[in-house]
Structure 1
Amino acid sequence: MPIAVGVIETLGFPAVLAAADAMVKSAEVAIVHHDKAESGRFVVAIRGQVSEVKCSIAAGIKAGEETYGGEVITHYIVPNPPDNVEFVLPIHFTEKTENFRIF
């Protein structure tokens, strides 16, 4: 079962909150990382099956763009990332996120 990672970067906190909410409600995915970036940018990363992540990212983009003043800056999906990418980047399940793993 290929597990993908999807990431959305937004301008402003309300947009990332709306995107994250829409992503977990629209598909069987789990949030594995969130962070602040420079200049009011925020990022949220999810994990799940490839098809679920694709649906989830689409819902997150729509919700982020529909948020008042919100802007989705970029997004990306990596189907089945290799172990070395998981080891270096914060996209793996941690003790905090393991309880929310759906798959």
Structure 2
Amino acid sequence: MSNALGMIETWGVVANLEATDAMSKSADVEMIGYENIGSGFVTTMVQGDVGAVQAAVDAGVEAARRAEGYVTSAVIPRPHDFVKKIMVLHKP
């Protein structure tokens, strides 16, 4: 299991796809999956080494801002075992 979890929440699918594309291209991270929260909110989750996840989230945030859909983001280094179980549930 990787040692960091990164998440970006956007409003709108277009902003989310922009963010996801930027995250995937900017660093060596693995996309865990996404959640369509409702009311237009979508969260994408990635995992990998802490530095790679932070770089990916930073790139994704900038892309989502350009698409005017950024809501929030987070990077969790060394997530608790319970969080890791949730991450496994969202693997594609």
- Partner of 2:16, secondary structure, is helix
Q: Which whole-Å CA distance do the structure 2 matches of 1:64 and 1:85 have between them?
A: 25
Shift of 1:9: 0.3
- Partner of 2:38, secondary structure, is coil
TM-score (norm 1): 0.81
The one-character-per-residue Cα deviations of 1:47-99 (angstroms, maximum 9, x if unpaired) are: 010000010000000001112xx321110110011212212x2x2374x4xxx
- Structure 1 residue runs of 5 or longer lacking an equivalent are 97-103
- Structure 2 residue runs of 5 or longer lacking an equivalent are none
Point out 4+ residue stretches in structure 1 off by more than 3 angstroms: none
Q: Percent identity?
A: 32
RMSD between aligned residues: 1.7
Match of 2:38 in 1: 38
Q: Which whole-Å CA distance do the structure 1 matches of 2:72 and 2:9 have between them?
A: 5
Q: Which whole-Å CA distance do the structure 2 matches of 1:34 and 1:85 have between them?
A: 15
Q: Which whole-Å CA distance do the structure 2 matches of 1:63 and 1:85 have between them?
A: 26
Shift of 1:38: 2.0
Match of 1:53 in 2: 53
1:78 is aligned to 2:76? yes
TM-score (norm 2): 0.90
Q: Which whole-Å CA distance do the structure 1 matches of 2:17 and 2:69 have between them?
A: 12
Larger Rg: 1
Q: Which whole-Å CA distance do the structure 2 matches of 1:20 and 1:4 have between them?
A: 17
The one-character-per-residue Cα deviations of 1:9-43 (angstroms, maximum 9, x if unpaired) are: 00000000000000010000011020211210101
Count of residues in correspondence between the two structures: 91
Q: Which whole-Å CA distance do the structure 1 matches of 2:19 and 2:84 have between them?
A: 23
Match of 1:8 in 2: 8
